[in-house]
Amino acid sequence: GAVVSQHPSRVICKSGTSVKIECRSLDFQATTMFWYRQFPKKSLMLMATSNEGSKATYEQGVEKDKFLINHASLTLSTLTVTSAHPEDSSFYICSAGSVSYEQYFGPGTRLTVT
């Protein structure tokens, strides 16, 4: 199957700082990528749909100014958590692929805000 990478895999940052997470599709072009958040032992919550060359579509309750998404190319989408707080600590996972068929997930980024 297709390969999606994420970087970094783990990050610890101080409260008030911003963190950027990269999601790359390594062997295919992804016009659409998805960003999820997963709490421990919980399901995946879709945060936003990242569209190449246009603005991301955010789910209800997700602050667009807090979670900045940029999809500048067909192989790269970035999620920036701005002014991070401890409650933003979570596992962030991106995926790429058609909603009509399988999604390929990245390995995830574990964010800890101290």
Nearest approach, Cβ of residue 16 and another protein (Å): 29
**Whole-angstrom distance, CA of residue 106 vs CA of residue 103:** 10
103 in Cβ contact with 97 (< 8 Å): yes
Report in angstroms the alpha-carbon separations of 112 from 25, 30, 31, 88, 104.
Answer: 25, 28, 29, 8, 24
Tell whether omega for the bond before 8 is within 30 degrees of 0, i.e. cis. Answer: yes
| Residue with Cβ nearer another protein (57 or 70) | 57
Nearest approach, Cβ of residue 81 and another protein (Å): 19
Nearest approach, Cβ of residue 2 and another protein (Å): 10
| Residue with Cβ nearer another protein (53 or 61) | 61
Nearest approach, Cβ of residue 17 and another protein (Å): 25
| Residue located via tokens 């805000």 | 113
Chain residues that interact with another protein, rule: CB under 8 A: 1, 34, 36, 41-46, 49, 60, 93, 95, 99-108
| Residue located via tokens 């999601």 | 23
| Residue located via tokens 């920036």 | 80
| Residue with Cβ nearer another protein (17 or 26) | 26
| Residue with Cβ nearer another protein (36 or 67) | 36
